[in-house]
Amino acid sequence: MTYQVTVIGGGPSGLMAAIAAAEQGVKTLLIDKGNKLGTKLAISGGGRCNVTNRLPEEEVIKHIPGNGKFLYSPFSVFNNYDIIDFFEGLGVALKEEDHGRMFPVSNKAKDVVQALLDRLEKLNVEVRKKTPVESIHYGSEGHEITLQSKETVITKAVIIAVGGKAVPYTGSTGDGYAWAKEAGHVITELFPTEVPLRSNEEFIKDKSLQGLSLREVDVSVLNQKGKQIVTHRMDMLFTHFGLSGPAILRCSQYVVKEFMKGHKPVTIEIDCMPDKKEHFLYEELQQDLKDHPKKTFRNLVKGIVPERLLDYLLDYTQIEADEKAANLSNQKLQKFVSLIKHFQVKTHDTLPIEKAFVTGGGVSIKEIIPNTMQSKLMNGLYFCGEILDIHGYTGGYNITSAMVTGRVAGMHAAWESMG
Ligand SMILES: Cc1cc2nc3c(=O)[nH]c(=O)nc-3n(C[C@H](O)[C@H](O)[C@H](O)COP(=O)(O)OP(=O)(O)OC[C@H]3O[C@@H](n4cnc5c(N)ncnc54)[C@H](O)[C@@H]3O)c2cc1C
């Protein structure tokens, strides 16, 4: 069969690309190997589908530390607000939650995916599910796509939207990198991002803090000289293998980059009371000790951090549970305060890329034209979504990147195929 535009991959980027191409009136095919489309989209945002983010464009780009600036150009064509209008136009009412995250009012991921499928149908996009693509043979006038079944599809333009390597059961198994290389594209080193961290610290191994979550703490990644590379104030969690939770996921890519430089272990520093300067905390506690000499130190400080962490810190600083305030040495107090402000956890690895939320690295953006998403190396070849070397924090930023690049790729592939 012959098509003007063929989109490989039915995630948010491919769905958007196929819709955008078909809206231009060209004969469009969407191929996916799964028996459903938008599987990863549907599990995003805790399974409610975090469609996009409402923060100003500038902020959205800041939350995409992996080459977010590349998106300025596609954003000038279609941005996060356009995504909101697009879904509202399809009858999917959206609501804003914390940090600008946008969800369907119904809280049902399937409403979002169904709206995209209905739109595809309305535009007469031919959809072939359970159809894995095996390879692409590039030609000067068009391209030949070979399916696993050995059937071939001829197309003027092809859009590769097969995602990265994270969470492969959703269909993203990294198949597209070989097709990009075949066209001469550079694939930058792939790595897991938005991924939990492993630690061999005794308190992790003996599970003394397992399951403990800390609210709104400052989590920093330290470089080899002990300087902070990045800090995020969010919640975090101690697990049976190390650290997880929103602040850790955000910090993870900076840890991975240190690992990639050969630096191991990498220290995570937690400030459990980020709104209080260390010397104020010290002076306040010193005053409390003076004012309540007969109280136990544990009772005096109870509540400043969760009880399990407090007991661990007291144990670590060798302060007995019944130690009276009057008897506590300045040295021990100083050590205790220092731990509250600079609790350090050495990390030595991450969970594998398959367990990461997002893939870092991918098709180099240097070889992609930003306002069309076309390959600079091959006519009629386009890329969009997570296969590109663009990665953001979770919170709708990756999905925004996928839909925006998909939209631009779809439009331009259609125009090129008409020429
Ligand atoms: C649990 C989880 C939660 C997430 N939460 C968020 C969040 O809150 N905010 C956020 O911004 N991002 C989140 N993400 C990331 C986000 O979902 C992805 O970045 C986004 O889905 C990428 O879209 P994509 O279209 O590029 O690729 P994908 O969504 O991965 O889709 C790729 C499609 O290509 C198909 N495909 C692959 N190979 C072939 C082949 N050979 N032949 C045919 N078809 C093929 C696959 O079947 C799949 O349908 C989350 C990810 C996960 C795993």
Return the residue whose CA atom lies nearest to atom 52 of ligand 1. 357
How far apart are the CA of 163 and the centre of ligand 1, in A? Answer: 5
What pLDDT shows up at residue 57?
Answer: 94
Contacts of 115 (CB under 8 A, 6+ apart): 87, 90, 91, 92
How far apart are the CA of 122 and the centre of ligand 1, in A? Answer: 24
DSSP state of 231: E
Site residues for ligand 1, CB cut-off 6 Å: 8-14, 31-34, 39-41, 43-45, 50, 132-133, 161-163, 166-167, 170-173, 175, 357-358, 385-386, 394-399, 402
What pLDDT shows up at residue 72?
Answer: 97
What pLDDT shows up at residue 321?
Answer: 87
Total Cβ atoms within 10 A of residue 71: 26
Cα 73 versus chain centre, distance: 21
| Average pLDDT per consecutive 10 residues, the chain (419 residues; last block may be shorter) | 95 98 98 97 92 96 97 97 98 95 95 97 98 97 97 98 97 98 98 98 95 98 97 97 97 97 97 97 95 95 95 95 92 96 98 97 98 97 98 96 98 95
What pLDDT shows up at residue 235?
Answer: 97
- Closest-lying ligand 1 atom to the alpha carbon of residue 406: 25
What pLDDT shows up at residue 46?
Answer: 86
Q: For residue 356, with 0-12 CB atoms within 10 Å meaning exposed, 13-18 middle and 19 or more buried, which class applies?
A: buried
Return the residue whose CA atom lies nearest to atom 26 of ligand 1. 385
- Closest-lying ligand 1 atom to the alpha carbon of residue 359: 19
- Closest-lying ligand 1 atom to the alpha carbon of residue 31: 43
How far apart are the CA of 41 and the centre of ligand 1, in A? Answer: 6
Q: How far is the C-alpha of 10 from the C-alpha of 258, rounded, in Å?
A: 34
Return the residue whose CA atom lies nearest to atom 38 of ligand 1. 162
How far apart are the CA of 340 and the centre of ligand 1, in A? Answer: 39
Residue 339 in contact with residue 332, Cβ under 8 Å? no
What pLDDT shows up at residue 242?
Answer: 98
Both structure tokens of 373: 């998403």
| Domain boundaries of the chain, sorted by first residue | 2-185+359-418, 196-350
C-alpha distances (whole Å) from 243 to each of 39, 83, 268, 347 are 27, 33, 9, 9
Total Cβ atoms within 10 A of residue 248: 29
How far apart are the CA of 274 and the centre of ligand 1, in A? Answer: 35
How far apart are the CA of 343 and the centre of ligand 1, in A? Answer: 35
- Closest-lying ligand 1 atom to the alpha carbon of residue 46: 3
Query: Which residue from 107, 162, 373, 401 has its CB within 8 A of the most atoms of ligand 1, so it is best to mutate?
Result: 162
How far apart are the CA of 213 and the centre of ligand 1, in A? Answer: 28
Query: Which residue from 177, 399, 404 has its CB within 8 A of the most atoms of ligand 1, so it is best to mutate?
Result: 399
Return the residue whose CA atom lies nearest to atom 7 of ligand 1. 394
Q: CATH top-level class for 2-185+359-418?
A: alpha beta
C-alpha distances (whole Å) from 122 to each of 100, 380, 392 are 31, 25, 32
- Closest-lying ligand 1 atom to the alpha carbon of residue 356: 53
